[in-house]
A and B are shown apart, each in its own frame.
Chain A
Amino acid sequence: MTLDMLKLNEEGLIKKVSGLELLKRRLLDLGFIPGEITKCVLISPFREPKAYLINNNVIALRSKDAKNVEVELCIE
């Protein structure tokens, strides 16, 4: 599944980051690196964008961008 599919409070283990070079770089810089765990912490009133907790930072992404991050749902 991809990052944008995470529901509120769900955690995902990042498997792969793809997409156009500039966007991919930005995602990596923000900490969306394979092996890291991220969590969906906020959803905007219009369902988009969503915000994710990564490395103690909260980063908002649009779905179309978050689609580039492949994650595996963490089951508690």
Chain B
Amino acid sequence: MYRVALIGSPNVGKSTIYNNLTKNHEHTGNWAGKTVSYTKGLCNYKNEVFEFVDLPGTYSLISKSKEEMIATDYIFDGDFDVAVVVCDATSLEKGLNLVLQTEEICHKVVMVVNLMDEAIKKELEIDLDLLEKRLGIKVVPTMARDKVGLDKILDAIREVQVKDYLDINYGILNKEIELACLDLKETNKNNKWLSLRLLENNEHYNNKINQNGYLTGASHLMEAKNNLQNVDVSLEIVGRINKLGKNILKNVVKKTKQNKTERKIDRILTSKIWGIPIMLLMLLVVFYITIVGANYPSDLLFKFFASLESKLINILEFIHLPSVIIHLLVDGVYKTLYWVVSVMLPPMMIFFPIFSFLEDLGVLPRIAFNMDKAFSKCEACGKQSLTMCMGIGCNAVGVTGARIIDSKRERLIAILTNVFMPCNGKFPTIIAIISIFMTSLNARFSSIVSALILTGFIALGILITFIVSFILAKTILKGEASSFTLELPPYRMPKIWDTLIYSIKNRAIFVLGRAVKVAMPAGVVIWLIANIKINNGSLASYLINFLEPIGLLLGVDGVVILAILMGFPANEIVIPAMLMLYLNSATLINLENNQFLYNILVSNGWTIKTALCFLMLMMFHFPCSTTLLTIKKETNSKYYTFLSFVIPSIVGVLLAITLNLIL
């Protein structure tokens, strides 16, 4: 078996290579940080097994950031056979530096020059034979997205020769490296590399060297450090490696022309006048397609599952289950389950593929670029704008998406505020209430007016996000605003099929899976609330009476509060639960049309004020159970999960009380 470590900078197609070789569909990232910890996968070729480890994207092996340390440690510890360094053909300088750094601590290295197709498009001529000769290691050209050249990587791994550690000329550091080496005992590592880490005071490696007991003394090291007092050691190291790389690449790459069209597109997408409007328009189109496109399949799914209901009852009766259990299973569990599936699945199947398409195309980093200023004012990260967009699709996905934010503090801000963006599940409810209370039902422009009001609500969500982010950054999540470096990768036409498969499998199904898990027990609870009788009333009526004073304070009633609580597994069932409670029914009730909803609400005392207060509570309350589970998983902290529950609830309650008092 060959154990292979895959390393490379972000955006060079490393994960694409990994996925295609191991058939393990890990997503390709457009920015750093997608592969947070490393993943392993197997591949068979010519009767041999290859085990690949996909390391986090890293620009160098001498970096000090946490994520990049994972890659460096893995290469340094050397628990593998061959290191494969993936480079971007259109930017060989950067990749080559990583190759050289790998060669310093690794005996078997293969260089992969990926994205050859883009180099050809950019009319770059690369003399790979010359590069191979100068480096003395195998150089494999690939176009990973088209699966070209991947078998050549495996061949190169089979044929790789052991090579001495690369000895780089570090100029004025050379003498001091020799000196510091005197304090190190014989190791199977590259002692020169180790002494460089000591000379540049790399804390992580200082500890590592101490732990491994590599040091035999300190006097020579002290002397060497003394001699280098006025030298910026790390700058010298990087400069020397870079210079070596430049020399190697001389006459290897011939540039013929600059890519002008890309700059032109960028100038428009980030222009002062058009940048923001184009972005907003793009988002609006995506949401419009999602909402409109999901209606029909949702309806179809719903009818399909509903038609199975009677058959299910027949089967359960056939096996002689008591009727109470049958009702619990069918009206409680099954109904809630298919309700959640039919309302959640279609919008996600539409939203996430479109979103992933924009992501793979390279549009999203431009959005973060445009929006960063506003976030930097809140001491947050511009990439939060992207997690907010994902949040409109589904808060759970937005929370997971926060992994793209490097700083932990800024990532937590993005996670804790994500729920302020109304998700797909809240949209239909908000739209229904807007259209029956704020636009007259039959007016000619009602759909435009309600679209505008909806936009207003989203804007309110954005405003609250900024305010809460700011408050968090000043209080609980205080700290230095971290540096913001964002690569704007070239636009790349995504492989539509791969994007589709990925987004459905890793996003839509992922969310649905979690939702289903909660929907079943929630179905039991909902059924019990509606069906348990105490004395002469149902459990529901007791709960409603209990919640009534709270409801009145918030400008609504007990039913609304109970319905929102029952919507914990999925926001989509708030209205069905509300109808169930108002009509005293034993199961969730489908919304036939807006007129029907209007009549019921008005006959239960709803006014426009009730509607507004309800909308505030609907927009701003605790995240749904799926999102909450995801937050727990992502933050690995009960405290932050608790905060994510409490903060939006407080905001909603405050807004509702305020509206109730002033209107």
Contact = CB atoms under 8 A, between A and B. Distances in A.
A56 B370 CA distance: 21
A65 B483 contact: yes
B643 interface: no
Given A25-B234, A62-B483, A47 B373 contact: yes
Nearest to B272: A45
B266 interface: yes
B93 A31 contact: yes
A46 B266 contact: no
A54 B501 CA distance: 34
Contacts of A46: 370, 373-374
Contacts of B64: 21-22, 25
A42 B485 contact: no
A44 B370 contact: yes
Given A22-B64, A22-B65, A42-B266, A62 B372 contact: yes
A35 B488 contact: no
Given A47-B373, A60-B486, A30 B91 contact: no
Interface string B231-248: 000110011001100000
A44 B382 CA distance: 12
A17 B483 contact: no
A48 B486 contact: no
B276 interface: yes
A28 B238 contact: yes
A26 B488 contact: no
Interface in B105-128: none
A36 B483 CA distance: 21
A29 B235 contact: no
Given A33-B238, A45-B275, A25 B91 contact: no
Contact of B488 (A17, A42, A45, A47): A42
Contacts of B186: none
Nearest to A57: B91
Nearest to B66: A22
Contacts of A27: 485
Contacts, number: 117
Interface in B361-400: 365, 369-370, 372-374, 376, 382
B372 A56 contact: no
Contacts of B65: 22, 25-26
Nearest to B488: A58
Contacts of B239: 33-35
B373 A48 contact: yes
A61 B242 contact: no
B271 interface: yes
B273 to A, nearest CB: 8
Given A22-B64, A44-B373, A59 B486 contact: yes
B40 interface: no
Contacts of A45: 270-273, 275-276, 370
B238 A42 contact: no
Interface of B: 59-60, 62-65, 90-91, 93-94, 234-235, 238-239, 242-243, 263, 266-267, 270-273, 275-276, 365, 369-370, 372-374, 376, 382, 483-489
Given A42-B369, A65-B485, 14 more contacts: A21-B234, A26-B65, A28-B235, A29-B238, A46-B373, A46-B374, A48-B373, A49-B486, A51-B369, A57-B94, A58-B266, A60-B484, A60-B486, A65-B483
